Amino acid sequence: MIAAPEIPTDFTLLQEDHTCICSDTDFEDIEGKNQKQGKGKTCKKGKKGPAEKGKSGNGGGKPGGPNRMNGHHQQNGVENMMLFEVVKMGKSAMQSVVDDWIESYKHDRDIALLDLINFFIQCSGCKGVVTAEMFRHMQNSEIIRKMTEEFDEDSGDYPLTMAGPQWKKFKSSFCEFIGVLVRQCQYSIIYDEYMMDTVISLLTGLSDSQVRAFRHTSTLAAMKLMTALVNVALNLSINMDNTQRQYEAERNKIIGKRANDRLELLLQKRKELQENQDEIENMMNAIFKGVFVHRYRDAIAEIRAICIEEIGIWMKMYSDAFLNDSYLKYVGWTMHDKQGEVRLKCLTALQGLYYNKELNSKLELFTSRFKDRIVSMTLDKEYDVAVQAIKLLTLVLQSSEEVLTAEDCENVYHLVYSAHRPVAVAAGEFLYKKLFSRRDAEDDGMLKRRGRQSPNANLVKTLVFFFLESELHEHAAYLVDSMWDCATDLLKDWECMNSLLLEEPLNGEEPLTDRQESALIEIMLCTIRQAAECHPPVGRGTGKRVLTAKEKKTQLDDRTKITELFAVALPQLLAKYSVDAEKVTNLLQLPQYFDLEIYTTGRLEKHLDALLRQIRDIVEKHTDIDVLEACSKTYHALCNEEFTIFNRVDIARSQLIDELADKFNRLLEDFLQEGEEPDEDDAYQVLSTLKRITAFHNAHDLSRWDLFGCNYKLLKTGIENGDMPEQIVIHALQCTHYVILWQLAKVTESSSTKEDLLRLKKQMRVFCQICQHYLTNVNTAVKEQAFTILCDVLMIFSHQIMTGGRDMLEPLVYTPDSSLQSELLSFILDHVFIDQDDDNNSADGQQDDEASKIEALHKRRNLLAAFCKLIVYTVVEMNTAADIFKQYMKYYNDYGDIIKETMSKTRQIDKIQCAKTLILSLQQLFNEMIQENGYNFDRSSPTFSGIKELARRFALTFGLDQLKTREAIAMLHKDGIEFAFKEPNPQGESHPPLNLAFLDILSEFSSKLLRQDKRTVYVYLEKFMTFQMSLRREDVWLPLMSYRNSLLAGGDDDTMSVISGISSRGSTVRNKKTKPATGKRKVPEAEESSSSDSMWLNREQSMHTPVMMQTPQLTSTIMREPKRLRPDENYMGVYPMQPEHHQAPLDYKQQEEAARQQQERAAMNYVKLRTNLQHAIRRGTSLMEDDEEPIVEDVMMSSEGRIEDLNEGMDFDTMDIDLPPSKNRRERTELKPDFFDPASIMDESVLGVSMF
């Protein structure tokens, strides 16, 4: 490393006015007028030895004038400021700042260079300053060591990582300064073998430092310096080629016209350019081998990312020199980096290369070697990386279609269905480029054709084929959204799609199959929906965004185009596919996206009448629920009072409902005749008509047809006879539910009379009783329908109905009685908390496959969620949740999220009642275990261990804030203690209470108690204990002993306080001078315990608990350290008991002493652990380092101890940068075979995360 070049003292130095420094801003210098004079003879001899560095620093009064900044002029109006401050402000023109520094360098280069060195030191966040004395007499390694000692280790921040407005643009200003500095010095100063040698040597040394700030800042500076030098080398190459061309042109002239002096001038210029290029090569080699080779695999991800980003720029900028396998391999290896940020830089660097098709030939070997890795990165766990990987493959595909195999493409194709929209859009673009962007020559003549003969016809067919082959038929909306940005014209060619459906195929053309027609209709519907709504499908966006004016205009134009086309075509399509339920269901959704005004303005009323006739025919033909609901929604969309077509549509709707209602009443009368058994035809007619009425009642108010009476009669007959077909009961329940809801809507919106409220109340109560009766039906589907509707009705007519100022609805409030609550809970226990196999067996011949299992589980989750909603909104008693909570562990995979959310919501409503419910659920499980195994059960049995594990999970749900849950936890312990001692042992007090083992479960909650509450709970526990119990040591008494110990543990501390835990993480091991605290925070015991204990005790008394008598002497004495006790006095003063009890306090003191010793040992072990951890960090060589490690750290690569190179087969440490020859230079030697070896930083764990 070069700090101050050693030159013999008798070396004759040129004076400053004789140095060959000329204009450094003349970039175009083809003729060599501004080239340095006497390269190698004057400039190279301008170096100063250590003895002369200070001679010109202040001599002659030149650099130290009042109008100078660190030895250079103040042209920006900023006085007495250092380079760092100017760059930090970022307000001055960078070229002016650099010109000032160059002027200073011309006057005294030592002073100017010292400014530059201190600039890099300060940009690293170091407060130290390199003095002129240090610069003259110390090597770089010594200077860096001195600066490291003066570094502020208390803070991990430095300018490149600092937040705030003043540091926001620091990095860009810092990089700009380096680039402008090299550009302004490129014609002379960088070749003086002084400035660049010193800077490169300093940056190389800093980049090898263990101080992260030094390493990060110097690596960024070195890489930007290298980039600027690559630009200089590129310009030199261009100048050399131009000079060579001029020379050859002059030499080829005839002798009479040849200018020999010009030939000599060109030869001299070519020689100087060659020397300059050789020197630039040496500089780049020094940076590449001294900085890049070590730092591209640094422990810090940001540093690795900087290296990869810059090498990508070099290869793109100067591909003749850098775009070869010797440099590409670094990018290839780093694609296996563990940090997504670095992998992302690799992909963006490669995108810049593959974008230029002229470079494809140089990327062939790299592509063949690393193609599989790029393909696998499309499934990267970092979505940004996956997106860029797909975009890179798209560029590879455009450069050469033969590179990617069919399997490679298929790995990208399925990503169009990804839930992450950027990934899906990138995959959609890849799909479009691969399958849809090629156009045959014969298509050029079809551009003006429309419909079935348009060039898009084949592309639409291709889209349909792809959709069907992907076998994800319910995800057409996601496929359309993925291709919406890149294939808009294709997806909006609705005329072509319509022609493919309606027109006959041309001669020799294959007609669409029924399956392909269904797929095309679904795709067409999705494109229309996307164009009309202008937002992605569910799961692909964060919500509806605000449309721009241009987007709104496009949306209106598309809706007009859709309406004009399909207002005419839709009746024809419905007529053609009227018997196909799937096609009709999709087609009937189109009017939702129409601009209905066009029916009037475009005089399309006859087409509206045709549409209404087709819908009526479809209602009469179909009984499928989806088709009927689609018809109902279409009527609802067309019945808009804002448009003039409303009357026409309303009349058609009323006529249809009249016919259906009359038919239903007539069929029902015959169906319910006494003494006659209904046949299947009558039942089918009733069911089909009821389905149609129910579907329409969902979206339309049919109150004037008074459907409640006939449905009530039907349901009541079903209860009395018990032989009603299940589908009739299910739809009758649903229809009656709609009747109730429409009546409620009418009562809420208008000024209703008291009679209306009473009638609705009566109907609602009667309906609830009917649903309650059907909960005991033999048919599972009927019971599930009754349960779901009953939960909805109870939720709607709960006390929540009066919110929002609707107090007049108070008569409608309905609270379920205990019997109804019990029946609802029983239904949940019998039909939700069951094994999957049991559910499949109970189904009527249901096929036991994966899809049916998922569907059944989804249905059971909905049932559980409906009941939990009643708990959360306090419609039913909270203690009913105990039967739900106790299933948390057993059914965690199926319902864990629902149960946990219910716990969270109930805790927000009432913490204490929620805690009581949790302990009640544990008590129920304990009682069930007793009933099954008896009182002499094995406490190591799986059943008991499962209850303990459930208690532990419950304890975790209380979180870390003990103050918020203090009262709830205390009440939980109170109920648990009472339960444990509730059943005395019939054999006498010498035997444990029957439920004593429950204390073992209760101890799982002891860690959630505050210190003072542990004391209070301990006192409460002693109220239930006799003196003989405290002396027992048999195994049957172990639960009592373990519970007592859990209350005594941490008596002097809050059991690893949360606050201390956070603070210990916050103060990282960066501060080596700070020793870890071995003791814990002490609180004055007497004051705190007295206040907190009295508060808790007073609260217990206010709750009318029969225990918790105040015994302050016992509390204060028990918890005091044993060394403060005088056994005789304290014993007599605190325990006014019988003489035979005198041994008990000694046992307590022994336990307390043992607990104290154990805490001291734990504290010592903690100190040792922290010390060992610090030592491990000092000498650790971990490759990937966490960002919260200390500033002073070991680096993966250092000059003191280098790890073997990743590529053992290639000696690239000694590789020199060899710029490509110009026409007058030697031919480059042929590249040796390159062997790629993704070694230690490669990690395949970045894969394996599915996108959807």
Query: From the CB of residue 477, how many other CB atoms can be counted at a distance below 10 Å?
Result: 20
3 state SS of 580: coil
C-alpha to C-alpha distance for 662 and 1122, rounded to whole angstroms: 92
C-alpha to C-alpha distance for 443 and 449, rounded to whole angstroms: 10
pLDDT score of 1156: 58
Average pLDDT over residues 1-13: 34
C-alpha to C-alpha distance for 285 and 274, rounded to whole angstroms: 16
Q: Is the pLDDT of residue 758 over 60?
A: yes
Query: From the CB of residue 132, how many other CB atoms can be counted at a distance below 10 Å?
Result: 14
C-alpha to C-alpha distance for 251 and 878, rounded to whole angstroms: 102
Average pLDDT over residues 507-514: 84
Nearest by Cα to 1162 from 1055, 1244, 1090, 1086: 1055
pLDDT digits (tens, 9 = 90+) for 1159-1175: 555 555 544 454 444 44
Nearest by Cα to 283 from 1202, 1219, 1198: 1219
pLDDT score of 848: 55
Q: Is the pLDDT of residue 1229 over 60?
A: no
Sign, CA dihedral 461-462-465-471, equals negative
pLDDT digits (tens, 9 = 90+) for 193-220: 889 999 999 999 999 998 889 999 999 9
3 state SS of 69: strand
For the chain, percent of residues with pLDDT exceeding 90: 47
Q: Which helix (H) or strand (E) holds 73?
A: strand 72-73
Query: From the CB of residue 369, how many other CB atoms can be counted at a distance below 10 Å?
Result: 17
Q: Is the pLDDT of residue 659 over 90?
A: yes
Nearest by Cα to 210 from 151, 160, 289, 161: 151
Diameter over CA atoms, the chain = 138
3 state SS of 72: strand
Answer whether 1192's CB lies under 8 Å from 210's CB: yes
pLDDT score of 1109: 34
pLDDT score of 681: 85
C-alpha to C-alpha distance for 357 and 633, rounded to whole angstroms: 53
Nearest by Cα to 558 from 595, 602, 596: 595
Answer whether 188's CB lies under 8 Å from 36's CB: yes
Average pLDDT over residues 585-590: 95
CA distances from 1117 to 318, 946, 1044, 1113, 1137 (A): 83, 38, 16, 6, 16
Average pLDDT over residues 370-379: 95
Max mean pLDDT range (298-312, 354-368, 838-852, 1186-1200): 298-312
Answer whether 1237's CB lies under 8 Å from 333's CB: yes
C-alpha to C-alpha distance for 994 and 996, rounded to whole angstroms: 6
Burial of 1134 from C-beta contacts in 10 A (0-12 / 13-18 / 19+)? middle
Average pLDDT over residues 346-364: 92
Two tokens, residue 478: 């996601």
pLDDT score of 547: 86
Two tokens, residue 60: 């002659």
Average pLDDT over residues 815-838: 89
Q: Which helix (H) or strand (E) holds 68?
A: strand 68-69
pLDDT score of 1235: 33
Average pLDDT over residues 967-988: 90
The owner of tokens 């009440």 is: 971
C-alpha to C-alpha distance for 759 and 709, rounded to whole angstroms: 12
Answer whether 598's CB lies under 8 Å from 560's CB: yes
Nearest by Cα to 47 from 181, 186, 189, 178: 189
Residue 183, φ and ψ in degrees, nearest 5: -65, -40
Average pLDDT over residues 911-938: 91
Two tokens, residue 44: 């190279």
pLDDT score of 1163: 52
Decide which of 1186 and 836 is more confident.
Answer: 836
CA distances from 884 to 658, 868, 889 (A): 47, 9, 11
Answer whether 298's CB lies under 8 Å from 1195's CB: yes
C-alpha to C-alpha distance for 474 and 1225, rounded to whole angstroms: 65
pLDDT score of 441: 45
CA dihedral 1109, 1115, 1117, 1123 (to 10 degrees): 160
pLDDT score of 732: 95
Average pLDDT over residues 989-1017: 89
Two tokens, residue 500: 């493919």
Q: Is the pLDDT of residue 1086 over 80?
A: no
pLDDT digits (tens, 9 = 90+) for 511-557: 899 999 999 999 999 999 999 998 899 888 766 778 899 999 999 99
Average pLDDT over residues 1135-1152: 41
CA dihedral 114, 117, 121, 124 (to 10 degrees): 150
pLDDT digits (tens, 9 = 90+) for 772-815: 999 998 899 999 999 999 999 999 999 988 888 888 888 899 99
C-alpha to C-alpha distance for 669 and 685, rounded to whole angstroms: 12
pLDDT digits (tens, 9 = 90+) for 130-173: 888 888 888 888 888 888 887 765 667 888 888 877 787 888 88
pLDDT digits (tens, 9 = 90+) for 416-452: 999 999 999 999 999 999 988 765 545 544 555 666 7
Residue 25, φ and ψ in degrees, nearest 5: -110, 0
pLDDT score of 1105: 33
pLDDT digits (tens, 9 = 90+) for 317-329: 999 999 999 999 9
Q: Is the pLDDT of residue 1107 over 90?
A: no
Question: Average per-residue pLDDT in the chain?
Answer: 78
C-alpha to C-alpha distance for 601 and 570, rounded to whole angstroms: 18
CA distances from 876 to 219, 904, 1252 (A): 66, 17, 38
Q: Is the pLDDT of residue 628 over 70?
A: yes
Answer whether 1207's CB lies under 8 Å from 329's CB: yes
Tell me, what DSSP letter sits at residue 188? T
C-alpha to C-alpha distance for 776 and 786, rounded to whole angstroms: 10
Average pLDDT over residues 955-971: 90
C-alpha to C-alpha distance for 1196 and 1203, rounded to whole angstroms: 8
Answer whether 331's CB lies under 8 Å from 350's CB: yes
